[in-house]
A and B are shown apart, each in its own frame.
Chain A
Amino acid sequence: MTTPLYTLGAAQIGEAVRAGQLSAVAVLEAVLARLEALGSLNAFRVTLAERGRREARAVDAIVARGDDPGPLAGAPYGVKDLYDIERLATAAGSKIGAEGPPAARDAVLIERLTAAGAVLFGVQVMDEYAYGFTTQNAHYGAARNPHDPARSAGGSSGGSAAAVAAGLGAFSLGSDTNGSIRVPASLCGVFGLKPTYGRLPRTGSFPFVFDLDHLGPFARNVEDLALVYDVLQGHDAGDAACAFRAREPVSTSLDAATALRVGVLDGWFADMAGAEALAATALAAQVLGAEERVTLGGAQAARSAAFLLTAASGGELHSANLATRPQDFDPATRGRLLAGQLLPASEVLRAQRVRRHFHAEALAAFADYDVLLAPATPCPAPRLDGGTIVIGGQGVAARPNLGLLTQPISAIGLPVISAPMRADGGLPIGVQIIAPPWREDLAFAAALALQRAGVTLANELAPC
């Protein structure tokens, strides 16, 4: 029995296509057929079959004439609905955006993937304007978790994580303002990377909170995550926050991981986590030889700062449409955006100061540790029809609270990989591997160690 082509990873596809052993068109057709069969997952808002076929044929033609299409040759992928795609309106999960003008060019990260031979074939479902952790969208429906379609895929990049978990692409691109890569990666059982703030250019993506927004990839194994990340790196002047840093590739040095000093975050990160999340983190700690606990006392306040800055910045960003066409918003985001406009300026400034305070505290901890571990979500995927999760014995709304363990970390821009573990009940749950600024390599080294120990869901497709 031959291996279905939709199960192959990005590096595998790239090697085989470059060697002329596999056709990019054949890989794409296998994925499009799987997408047809799994449409009920609602991972994609738009399928770009013709564009994908055009790109796949171009890759095969490059190989046929003896040239190199790039390391991601023929690797099919989709992007969250907030990346600009030439000749397509960037909806960002909204009705308003979908009615807007088409983008004049692809987002910079898509351009880099195209140059590396990857094949774009779809646009993935998200919470409206990325404001939610469950990918329940009044306009386009809910992305369903491929491990159990009655459960949430997480959000706001839920379609992107669900697609990778289901074999609907070798990788995908999402965005993470408060946890929107790490939360769906956790609930869908895939690897997700939120790089250091300012590492990857956001040029050509729809913003949410300018000084919290990050872009990043999902993949089914660490090698693919590293390969895609390396292709995405590099400064671009179109994003004022993008750092002037040389590319720092990780995929070529993944095997050179040295012994890591690993700590486990407690306090807020333990108090707010359920039994499955704590067990997954304990297993990761055991594999990585982490015995010491680390308390970051400012984590809860940093989460609150991120919560308020998000409401205020998002509310300001959408203020014109909120005033003139509020009926066109998803009710689940509208109230929060409007409430954000009511926050006093003094509290917004104070929230920024809280971030700085927590940043200093976290950097001090990295004097003793290379990476810190924490659960990515407080629990495995909740049911879509429930709407609540239990935190510390109290039921709270899932949509704003599934990211309460990711928000403190993105608030201070640290790089994080969410590594997929298996909870006792069989559903996935992620562990955050948090590194100091610009040290994605350390997070990759720890993630690879977990993968090699066999405790992650690496390369497993969800049983859908």
Chain B
Amino acid sequence: MTESGDSDPQAVRALAEALGVAINPDHLAEVAQAWAMMAPHRALITAAPLGPQDEPAGVFRP
């Protein structure tokens, strides 16, 4: 398990600007750290072996 990912604050700032998400420059480092923490999780779900029957759960009904 790794927690490392791209934590470049300037890359995160550029992404946020493109999406219209306002980030105070004083808070950029903590956002970059959190963004990096998500990297392994994003990779895992991208690699998950899904089929057409695996519909989005949405509001979940167990």
The reply to whether B42 and A342 contact each other, CB–CB distance below 8 Å, is no
Q: How many residues of A contact B (CB 8 A)?
A: 57
Count how many pairs of residues, one from A and one from B, have CB atoms less than 8 Å apart in the complex: 136
A347 at interface by CB-CB < 8 Å: yes
What's the nearest-Cβ distance from chain A to residue B8, in Å?
13
Segment of A20-28, A59-67, A153-161, A333-341 in the binding face = A333-341
The reply to whether A338 and B57 contact each other, CB–CB distance below 8 Å, is no
Interface residues of B in 30-62 (CB under 8 A from A): 30-35, 37-38, 40-42, 44-51, 53-62
Cβ contacts under 8 Å, A412 to chain B: 60, 62
Answer whether A350 and B41 are a contact pair too, CB < 8 Å, given A338-B21, A414-B62: no
- B interface, size bucket: 35 or more
A327 at interface by CB-CB < 8 Å: yes
Cβ contacts under 8 Å, A356 to chain B: 54-57
Partner of A350 from B12, B46, B60, B61 at Cβ < 8 Å? B46
The reply to whether B45 and A304 contact each other, CB–CB distance below 8 Å, is yes
Contact with A along B3-41 (1 / 0, CB 8 A): 100000000100110010111100100111111011011
Partner of A307 from B21, B30, B38 at Cβ < 8 Å? B38
- Report Cα–Cα, A281/B32, bound state, in Å: 37
Interface residues of A in 1-56 (CB under 8 A from B): none
A397 at interface by CB-CB < 8 Å: yes
- Nearest B residue to A331 via CB reads B30
Interface residues of A in 332-390 (CB under 8 A from B): 334-336, 338-343, 347, 349-357, 359-360
What's the nearest-Cβ distance from chain B to residue A66, in Å?
43
The chain B residues found within 8 Å of chain A, CB to CB, are: 1, 3, 12, 15-16, 19, 21-24, 27, 30-35, 37-38, 40-42, 44-51, 53-62
6 contacts between A and B (CB under 8 A): A301-B47, A334-B27, A338-B21, A351-B45, A352-B57, A359-B62
A323-B22, A343-B38 are known; give 20 further A-B pairs, CB within 8 A: A197-B60, A198-B61, A211-B57, A211-B60, A212-B60, A301-B45, A301-B48, A304-B40, A311-B38, A327-B24, A334-B27, A334-B31, A338-B27, A339-B35, A339-B37, A339-B38, A340-B34, A355-B60, A356-B56, A437-B62
